[in-house]
């Protein structure tokens, strides 16, 4: 059952974000209370605009770790606070190299769309939608490549293009000649 509070919350306030965070969790307040080791009443108070109790960042992280949909709510809020937007990456089985190739392909399609749109010297409303759609594809492709590269860097992936061999292993001819950035 979704979390549905009755008191209005101003959009973007901490209490609103906490309400949306709770709403993103399948299992509702009881499950969140269990994760936080708090009573359901205390947990619900964190989203109550009339209550001074506030959810700590540590508690919010515990919720986000247990419920990825809740992590999206937090990411969107922090990105907005930083003046940006959160761009989630679709789960992919592609390796970094494949994602870089995809981003290059998307970039080429984006440039082609922009050149076509500017043929008459300006971008009209219809062309703007097409250009933005192509740009979104580029951004998603780049974000996926970045996420995969960061994932590899944490040692969570297999031997990737940027994996460093142990110090006692001599690099092969193919890895010696590979350009590293």
Is this structure's pTM higher than 0.85?
Answer: no
Which pLDDT value is given to residue 56?
97
Mean pLDDT for the stretch of residues 133-158 = 79
Q: What is the DSSP string of 127-180?
A: HHHHHHHHHHHHHHHHHHHHHHHHHHHTT-SSS-TTPPPPTTSPPPHHHHSS--
The band of 153, judged by pLDDT with boundaries at 50, 70 and 90, is: low
pLDDT digits (tens, 9 = 90+) for 55-76: 999 999 999 999 999 999 999 8
Report percent pLDDT > 70 for the chain.
80
Phi, psi of 55 (to 5 degrees): -75, 135
The band of 3, judged by pLDDT with boundaries at 50, 70 and 90, is: low
Q: In Å, what is the CA distance from 72 to each residue of 104, 132, 165?
A: 27, 23, 35
In this structure, what token pair is assigned to residue 70? 């809740």
């Amino acid at each position: 059952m979704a979390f549905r509070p009755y008191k209005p919350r101003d959009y973007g306030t901490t209490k609103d974000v906490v309400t949306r965070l709770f709403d993103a969790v399948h299992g509702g307040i009881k499950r969140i209370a269990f994760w936080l080791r708090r009573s359901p009443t205390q947990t619900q108070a964190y989203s109550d605009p009339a209550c001074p109790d506030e959810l700590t960042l540590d508690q919010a992280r515990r919720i986000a770790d247990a419920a990825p949909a809740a992590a999206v709510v937090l990411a969107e809020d922090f990105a907005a606070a930083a003046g940006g937007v959160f761009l989630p990456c679709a789960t992919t089985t592609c390796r970094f190299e494949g994602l870089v190739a995809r981003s290059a392909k998307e970039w080429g399609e984006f440039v082609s769309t922009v050149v076509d749109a500017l043929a008459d010297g300006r971008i009209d409303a219809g062309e703007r939608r097409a250009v933005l759609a192509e740009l979104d594809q580029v951004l998603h492709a780049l974000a996926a490549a970045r996420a995969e590269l960061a994932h590899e860097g944490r040692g969570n992936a297999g031997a990737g293009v940027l994996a460093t061999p142990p110090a006692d292993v001599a690099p092969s001819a193919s890895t010696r000649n590979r350009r590293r950035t």
